[in-house]
């Protein structure tokens, strides 16, 4: 008996509220179909339904496209109940749907396509491994990204409101959302509130808000700019002042919440004991984003497989003995973007000291250009080398160490 005859194949189409499962046998015959709610209390219904088709000596295999989103709870439940679960790449099921003369789209057909992929590619599909630590870090990273995006939008809105009240507001502070700046906007949202305020009073307020970083000269400059701008008071000034103060309160809240989230990310990263932050250009935010997208490094047998997962490895297109290697547009584009941004940082030169931020990669980048590669191609080479190094650092939990010969040349 062929080993595939010892299984029945359960493809599951995943959704937010309900899932649809289709059961087929090794001959591609549809045995049954069921729809159940996306909650742990209903998952036993699926297992009981599948069991009704499972003959003695047979083992069910479940295929799920997404074990980190809507399908995560189901994957965890099945694994906890010692079921065999495979992760099906959505590209496979998409290609399966498109391989028929007449293309159709429904929950039932999508689940059946997943089941067919499960049967045909059983040997190469990875086991589902929804580990809580990586999923949780991913959720925290997503939360931080959402807060940062909201903070940028708030700052843009504050810019707009300030331009109505203080035409020269950009000259007041280097950052409009700095601690001292926010304190100033909240106390003096409009110039009319500065009437009668002396240089000494304003200077004392600024020193207190900035922990003595602002001098009396700053207070003099602000009052001088306000006088030069003229009167900007208009109707409903009280409500206009309220808008600025509301933006300031919201910005302060977002900044504090970002700090809370980063503290939690730091605690989660400490559990994994990776030392990614020892590499120049990688801080807590970048390290956690890398870990969230890569997940368990042990699911990649080599750095080459990680590079293909990130869409960094070239794809060969050939026919009739002729062909070329072309840039991949596939893979995890978020992870690809992280490696791209990291590669750019590695080859940059500090504006002040004119020294490369990472001499190892700066030298490697220039060497590739001297070999005839374009700057873009050389940067891809840096990305590929970064994959090797980060793979090794995560696999062995080692710190980054600059080669001694490079350190000697820089010093």
Question: Which pLDDT score is estimated for 411?
Answer: 46
Domains of the chain: 3-130 (3.30.420.40), 135-268 (1.10.287), 276-410 (no CATH)
Helical axes 333-346 vs 359-370, angle rounded to 10°: 100
**Averages of pLDDT over each 10 residues, the chain, 411 residues:** 92 96 96 96 96 94 92 96 94 90 90 96 91 93 98 98 96 95 97 95 96 93 96 95 98 98 97 94 96 94 94 74 69 94 93 84 94 92 96 96 60 46
Locate 228 and state its tokens: 């030069």
Question: Which pLDDT score is estimated for 403?
Answer: 73
Question: Which pLDDT score is estimated for 410?
Answer: 46
């Amino acid at each position: 008996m062929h080993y595939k005859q010892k299984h029945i194949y359960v493809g599951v189409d995943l959704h937010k509220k309900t899932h649809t499962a289709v059961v087929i046998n090794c001959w591609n015959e549809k045995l049954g179909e069921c729809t159940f709610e996306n909650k742990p209390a209903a998952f036993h219904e699926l297992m009981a339904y599948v069991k009704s088709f499972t003959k003695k000596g047979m083992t069910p295999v479940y295929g799920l496209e997404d074990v980190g989103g809507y399908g995560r709870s189901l994957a965890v439940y099945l694994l906890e109940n010692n079921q065999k679960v495979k992760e099906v790449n959505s590209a496979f099921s998409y290609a399966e749907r498109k391989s028929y003369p007449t293309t159709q789209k429904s929950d039932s057909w999508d689940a059946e396509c997943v089941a067919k992929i499960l049967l045909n590619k059983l040997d190469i599909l990875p086991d589902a491994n929804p580990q809580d630590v990586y999923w949780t870090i991913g959720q925290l990273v997503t939360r931080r990204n959402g807060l940062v995006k909201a903070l940028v939008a708030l700052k843009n809105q504050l810019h707009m409101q300030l331009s109505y009240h203080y035409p020269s507001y950009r000259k007041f502070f280097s950052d409009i959302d700095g601690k001292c700046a926010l304190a100033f906007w909240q106390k003096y949202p409009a110039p009319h509130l500065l009437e009668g305020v002396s240089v000494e009073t304003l200077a004392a307020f600024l020193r207190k808000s900035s922990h003595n970083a602002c001098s009396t000269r700053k207070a003099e400059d602000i009052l001088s700019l306000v006088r030069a701008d003229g009167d900007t008071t208009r109707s409903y000034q009280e409500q206009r002042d309220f808008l600025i103060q509301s933006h300031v309160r919201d910005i302060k809240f977002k900044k504090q919440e970002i700090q809370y989230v980063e503290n939690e990310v730091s605690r989660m990263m400490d559990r994994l004991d990776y030392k990614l932050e020892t590499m120049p250009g990688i801080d807590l935010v970048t390290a956690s984003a890398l870990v969230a997208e890569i997940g368990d490094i042990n699911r990649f047998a080599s750095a080459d497989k990680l590079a293909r997962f990130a869409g960094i490895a070239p794809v060969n297109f050939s026919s009739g003995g002729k062909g070329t290697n072309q840039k991949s547009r596939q893979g995890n584009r978020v992870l690809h973007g992280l490696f791209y941004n990291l590669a750019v940082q590695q080859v940059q030169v500090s504006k002040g000291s004119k020294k490369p931020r990472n001499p190892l990669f700066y030298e490697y980048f220039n060497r590739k250009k001297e070999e005839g590669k374009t700057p873009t191609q050389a940067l891809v080479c840096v990305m590929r080398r970064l994959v090797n190094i980060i793979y090794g650092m995560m696999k062995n939990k080692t710190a980054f160490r600059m080669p001694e010969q490079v350190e000697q040349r820089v010093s």
